[in-house]
Structures are given as C-alpha cells and as structure tokens.
Amino acid sequence: MNQLKLELNNFFIVPLAHITIRKILSLGLLMLIIACSNDLEKIHEISIQNQASFPIETIKDCEIIYSDSAKVRVLLNATLMNRYADEDSYVEFKDGLKVQFFDVNGKKESELNADYAIVDDKKDLMLAQNNVVVRNVDGDILETEKLNWNKQKEEIFTDEFVKITTENEVIFGQGLVSNQNFSKYSIRKIKGTITINQSNE
C-alpha cells in the first residue's frame, strides 16, 4: 500500500478581513464566489465525463501537509487520491477526506469532513460535497452539501443550503462565507432559527 506524505513550505497566509453582511452582499464578492464555484463545477463535470480515463497518479492513505515557517497550518488526510492531467489539471478524492486547520501556534481550530472532494491545482480551490461537515473549537457545526475552500484567502463559502448548530441555537440559511476556522461567518439569507433551551439540572 502506497503512502504519500507531502509538506509544502512557505505557504502564503493572507489575513482574513473582517466579514460583514454588507461585504457579502456586494456585487463584486458575489460574482467572485459564483465564478469560483462555476470553475470547480466545470472541473467536476469533466471528471464525470472522463471516468474512463486513467489518473496519472494514484495514492492510497495519503497525508498532505501545508506548512508556514515549519509550522503545520493545514493537514489533509484521504484514503484515496487520484491526480488527472486532462484539459484541466485536478486532484480527486473519490472516497472523501478530512481537512484540519491550525493556527500559527499549531493549535487545531477547525475540521472539515466530506464524502467527496475535487481540487483545482492551478487556482488552489477545493470543492467538497456530499455530507460536508465543519466543526470549530467551540463546538459549532456547519452542515451543507457543497462547500468551497480557497486556500490562499483562507476562506470557505457556498451558495447552497446551510445548517449551523451552536450551543444555543440552530440556524438555517442559504449561502455562507466564513474564515476557514469557522469562527467568523455570515449567512447570506437566514431562513429560520430554532432556540435550544438549556435545562437546569
């Protein structure tokens, strides 16, 4: 069984600006999100159409490390990774993956799990889909069917339906933008909330 362990040094970190509802609703940002999503959707369609083609690289039980100044910032684990070099170069995780995000001190801040993912090598964009779940250190949980990750901007975003569960409430909405640590997020359109009553024992 082959095992891959990659470490990418000098991973450029772009500080995440404070996200506000006004910024999310701005036309420029919405167009950027739609464009990124469409690019990844196009690659996904190509991968489906070219299922008969063979990957140029197949790795089982792979571990990919993104580091900055010798400190791990992102750790990706998957049972199977296929790399294709068709019209659009991409990496496919057909059996799902787990992505862990760390702060500059190496402390884990959040974790993303999905049943399927595809990565655009050129643009450093990942589309995770099917039972996508993100958890942060506070125990907040994001659930959706499709979620994009921009590695350079350290952002996660989606146009899909989202469900966020916190200690005090459950929020339902359409569309979301967040930092990859899932500590600051904005929902484009909130569709409903449910308050969780904390019983006193």
Each residue of 120-143: pLDDT tens digit?
978 889 999 999 999 999 999 999
Residue-wise burial string across 76-91, b where 16 or more C-beta atoms lie within 10 A, e elsewhere: bebeebbebeeebebb
Domains contained in the chain, number: 1
Q: Tell me, what's the pLDDT at 46? A: 57
Domain-located, residue 26: yes
Q: Is residue 122 situated within a structural domain?
A: yes
Q: What is the pLDDT of residues 100-123, one digit of tens each?
A: 999 998 999 999 999 999 999 788
pLDDT tens figures, 42-77 = 655 655 555 547 899 999 999 999 888 888 999 999
* Better pLDDT: 201 or 109: 109
Q: What pLDDT digit, counting tens, does each position of 70-82 carry?
A: 889 999 999 999 9
191 and 173 Cβ atoms separated by less than 8 Å: yes
Q: Which range marks the domain in which residue 168 is found?
A: 5-195
Q: Is residue 157 part of a domain?
A: yes
Question: Does a structural domain hold residue 201?
Answer: no
| Alpha helices, H only, 26-151 | 27-49
Provide the token pair at 165.
Answer: 């569960």
What is the pLDDT at residue 26? Answer: 43
Residue 95: which CATH number? 2.60.450.10
Q: What is the mean pLDDT of the chain?
A: 81
In a domain, 200, yes or no: no
Residue 25 within a domain: yes
Q: What is the pLDDT of residue 37?
A: 57
